[in-house]
Amino acid sequence: MAISALLVDWSFSSAPVKAIHLLRAALSQITAKKFTCRHITPYGVIIAVNQLTDVLTAISHPTRRAIIGQLANGPARFLDVAKPFDTALNAVSKHLKLLERAGLIERRKQGREVYISFRGEPLRQVAGWVHEYERFWNERLDQFQQYFRDKKKEKR
């Protein structure tokens, strides 16, 4: 339901209860959607910022990076993932949820066991974003180097 339709229904509704139900329905639709904001790098590459933000947030913590490193060797059970860390299982579970939201891991149930495996595709997006700025800085450094070469030639 569109917000404008909600406002029309609400303003002409004789029953306040109906208006409250309409408002709840519209808000649940709004919050259920994952809005994508786009970022354009200096070289015109468009990146979905919300996923990029999720991935950068996920890899920002050393425990999550260690989990990624562990899972890069192959799928593991939850308890095997949690074993090397001196934290509560609940804390490891929260780290895994954040990694899963970023799309860096996936869970697969096999019988009674849940196996967690690494997915590297979202890191390609981060690498692409960083690469665009690497090109930007390389060009600036090349210009800087050329400036000093020109200055050296002027002195001769």
pLDDT at 7: 42
Q: Is the pLDDT of residue 49 over 80?
A: no
Between residues 129 and 35, the one the model is more confident about? 129
CA–CA dist 146, 144 (Å, integer): 5
pTM recorded for the entire structure: 0.59
CA 102 to chain centre: 5
Report the half-sphere exposure of 52 (CA within 13 A, side-chain side). Answer: 17
| Mean pLDDT on 51-56 | 89
Contact 70, 81 (CB under 8 A): yes
Q: Which fold has domain 34-155?
A: Arc Repressor Mutant, subunit A (1.10.10)
SS3 60: coil
Residue ranges per structural domain of the chain: 1-33, 34-155
Average pLDDT, the chain: 78
CA dihedral in degrees (19, 21, 23, 26; nearest 10)? Answer: -140
Q: Which pair of tokens denotes residue 72?
A: 């890069």
pLDDT at 30: 46
pLDDT at 84: 94
